Amino acid sequence: MTTNSIKLLYIEDDTEIGELVTEQLRAKSYEVKWLKSGEEALREAEGCSLVVLDVMLPGLDGFTIGQRLKKANPDLPILMLSARTSIDDKLQGLEFADDYVTKPFHPDELSARIEVLLRRGGRRSSEPTKVKHLLVYEAENRIVHADTGEELALGGKQFHIFMFLFRHLGQILTKEQIYEAVWGESYLDGDKTLMVHIRHLREKIEKDPASPEVVETIRGLGYRVRA
C-alpha cells in the first residue's frame, strides 16, 4: 500500500462530499489539503503530489483551475471529479486532466485511481512494494526475493515488461499494450517475441513457472501483476 505523508490537494465546494472524501483519503494515510474554491489553488498546490479537482465550483470552474495548474506544473497529476454527465465533460476535461472520475464514485475507486496516477507520475517511494513473494524497490529499479533477500537479475526487456505491469498494478494489460510500451513498435507479429520474453521473465521471478502467480495470465485478454 501507499506509504504515508504523500500530500494531496483536494478542491471541492460541497461540504458533505468534501468531508467524506477527505476522511476516506486520510484513512488511506494521505495528507489532504482541502480547499472549497480554486482561487488559492496555484499557491496551495506547491509541495503536493496530486490534485483532486471538482468541476463545478463557485467562481473559477474546475476546468480553468486545472488548466492553470497544468500550465504552472505540467508534471503534477490532476484527477478530475465531476458530477456532470460524463460524455459532456470527458472530452473537455481530459485534455489536460490525467484521469477522470464521475460522481457518484466508489471511495475505493477514487483511491485506486489516485494510486495509479501517483505511480505513473513517477512518484516513487523508497519503501518497497510487496508483490506476492517479491519486494519491488521502484525508485532503485530493484526486485528482491522477499524470502531469500536475493536480488533478481532480469534482462532489459524482461525488466521493462515487469515494471510496465507493476506500474499498472492490478490492471490487465493486453499483449498489444505491453509490446508497444516496451518495444515502442506497433504490435503486428510481436506475439511470439512477447511470449518468449514473458516465459523467460517467469522463469526468473516465479516460484513455479508452470503455474505463475506474479505475472498472471488472463485468458483471452492479457497479463496482470497484482499486489
| Cell numbers given for 221 | 485478454
Q: Which stretch binds another protein (CB under 8 A): 98-106, 114-122, 133-141, 201-209?
A: 98-106
In the stretch 5-44, what mask flags binding to another protein with x, by CB under 8 A?
---------x-xx--xx-xx--------------------
The one-letter code for the residue type at 219 is: R
User: Is-contact 70 78, C-beta < 8 A?
Assistant: yes
- The secondary structure of 50-85 as a DSSP string is EEEEES--SSS-HHHHHHHHHHH-TTS-EEEEE-S-
- How far from 141 is each of 120, 129, 130, 156, 166, CA to CA, in Å? 15, 12, 14, 11, 11
Pick one of 36, 68, 92, 105: the residue that binds another protein (CB under 8 A).
105
Residues paired with residue 56 on neighbouring β-strands, in sequence order: none
Under the criterion CB under 8 A, does residue 84 sit at the interface with another protein?
yes
Please state the closest distance from residue 121 (CB atom) to another protein, in A: 20
State the Cα–Cα distance between residues 174 and 152, nearest whole angstrom.
25
Secondary structure letter of residue 191 according to DSSP: H
Q: Does 221 bind another protein (CB under 8 A)?
A: yes
Residue 6 · residue 30 · CB < 8 Å: yes
**Is 220 among the residues that bind another protein (CB under 8 A)?**
yes
Task: Tell me the angle at which helices 175-183 and 156-167 cross, rounded to the nearest 10 degrees.
Answer: 120
Is residue 192 a contact point for another protein (CB under 8 A)? no
- Site for another protein contains 186 (CB under 8 A): no
Among 5, 47, 74, 85, binds another protein (CB under 8 A): 85
Minimum separation from the CB atom of position 149 to another protein (A): 32
Give the nearest distance from C-beta 141 to another protein in angstroms: 26
First to last CA, the chain: 8
Among positions 104, 149, 156, 184, the unique one binding another protein when judged by CB under 8 A: 104
Q: Which of 121, 128, 209, 222 binds another protein (CB under 8 A)?
A: 222
Residue 225 and residue 169 in contact, taking contact as beta carbons nearer than 8 Å:
yes
CB of 179 to another protein, least distance (A): 11
The minimum distance between CB 161 and another protein, in angstroms, equals 16
Query: What residues line the site for another protein (CB under 8 A)?
Result: 14, 16-17, 20-21, 23-24, 56, 83-88, 90-91, 102-108, 170-177, 191, 218-222, 224
